[in-house]
Structure 1
Amino acid sequence: MARPTKAQRAAVAKRRADAIDLKLAGVDWLTIGRKLAADPAINSDRVAYPQGYGSDRYAKGQEPPTDDALIHAACKDVREALAQRTTDLDKSVEDLRAVEMERLDKLFFVAYRQAVRDGNLGAIDRALRIMERRAKYVPVEISQRLEVTGADGGPLHVETADLAELEALIAVTEEAASGSDGQ
């Protein structure tokens, strides 16, 4: 089988775009198949659609495709066109991500240099924010789930305390810590 020409590939791409447009408009599969058929005898517009369904058969003077074949061809066109659009979108997203990463790298370099060289606290904060933004594009950290439970995996018992009770607990804890250091 000969490789399709540039004009044939363009016609197939147009047919697939038309198939998607018709499906989005709510047209049923058989009607799409007939509208995009190559044989004017079954084409709902009574024209030979360029690179339409059954174009090989039409060129050879053979019977047009069956309704089932037209439905199958329309479904296949929509599926392949959507897959191509998804691939194109994924590529566009990757290209955009690469551009954004380059921008963040340049900004980070400036902030990092000022943070390290001058100890500029604003630059340190800015560098950290750029790192956080960068991590959204390329996750580096492994998220962890921390679960706190009470005894034997039961619910955690929480008590409230006023300021005087908290200060007393802190004092007792500090005394215990300093007492254990002296032993």
Structure 2
Amino acid sequence: MGRPDKAKRAAIARRRSDAIDLRLAGVDWLTIARKLAADPAINSDGVAYPQGYGIERYQKGQEPPTDEALIHAACRDVRKALDERRTELNADVDEMRQLEADRLDRLFFVAYKKAVRDQDLTAIDRTLRIMERRARLLGLDKPTKAELSGPGGGPVHVEHATADELDALIALTAPDAP
């Protein structure tokens, strides 16, 4: 069978995008599958959808896929398309993160030189702020552990509480509470 050519890949990408759009619009799986089916006999629009579900069977003149097979194909399509979008998004985020780290490196170099050369307290503060931002961006800081405890370090006993009561309790135990 091999890898589909560029035109087929584009048609498959379009089908997957259409499947996601339909699903987001609240359309049920079987309706999606029939709308995107290759065989006009089962396609809800009565047309042969390019690279639609069951294309191999349609091209061979075989019976169309069962409803269950169509639904499975539509679900698989949406899952694959979402995975591809997630992968692209993660790559974009990684690229942006690297760009921001490079910018911070350039700013750090300028501030660090001034801080060390002139012993300028403002430049030292700016250098530390850049270092803190870079550590947050790249996840270099160890996570802080937050623990809520009752009087004397014991457990907090709550049977019934309103959201306001819980907010007040949290505010009392926050590290920067008065």
Q: TM-score, normalised by structure 1?
A: 0.79
Q: CA deviation at 1:142?
A: 2.1
Structure 2 regions of 5+ residues with no counterpart?
Answer: 156-178
Q: Which residue of 1 is the match for residue 12 of structure 2? A: 12
Q: Which residue of 2 is the match for residue 177 of structure 1? A: none
Matches within 5 A, 1:10-159: 10-145=10-145
Q: In the TM superposition, what whole-angstrom CA distance separates every residue of 1:20-46 from its partner, at most 9, and x where no partner exists?
A: 000000000000000000000100011
Q: In the TM superposition, what whole-angstrom CA distance separates every residue of 1:118-158 from its partner, at most 9, and x where no partner exists?
A: 111111111111111101111223245488x9xx9669xxx
Give the distance between the partners of 1:18 and 1:145, measured in 2 at CA: 45
Identity of aligned residues (%): 68
Q: CA deviation at 1:79?
A: 0.6
User: Per the alignment, in what secondary structure is the counterpart of residue 105 of structure 2?
Assistant: helix
Give the distance between the partners of 2:60 and 2:77, measured in 1 at CA: 22
Q: In the TM superposition, what whole-angstrom CA distance separates every residue of 1:35-66 from its partner, at most 9, and x where no partner exists?
A: 00000010001110000000011111111111
Give the distance between the partners of 1:70 and 1:53, measured in 2 at CA: 7
Larger radius of gyration: 1
Give the distance between the partners of 1:144 and 1:36, measured in 2 at CA: 50
Give the distance between the partners of 1:154 and 1:23, measured in 2 at CA: 49
Give the distance between the partners of 2:154 and 2:64, measured in 1 at CA: 72
Moved segments of 4+, more than 6 Å: none
State the superposition RMSD in angstroms.
2.3
Q: Number of matched residues?
A: 155
Q: Which residue of 2 is the match for residue 159 of structure 1? A: none
Amino acid at match of 1:99: L
User: Per the alignment, in what secondary structure is the counterpart of residue 49 of structure 2?
Assistant: coil
Give the distance between the partners of 2:30 and 2:39, measured in 1 at CA: 15
Q: TM-score, normalised by structure 2?
A: 0.81
Give the distance between the partners of 1:144 and 1:72, measured in 2 at CA: 44
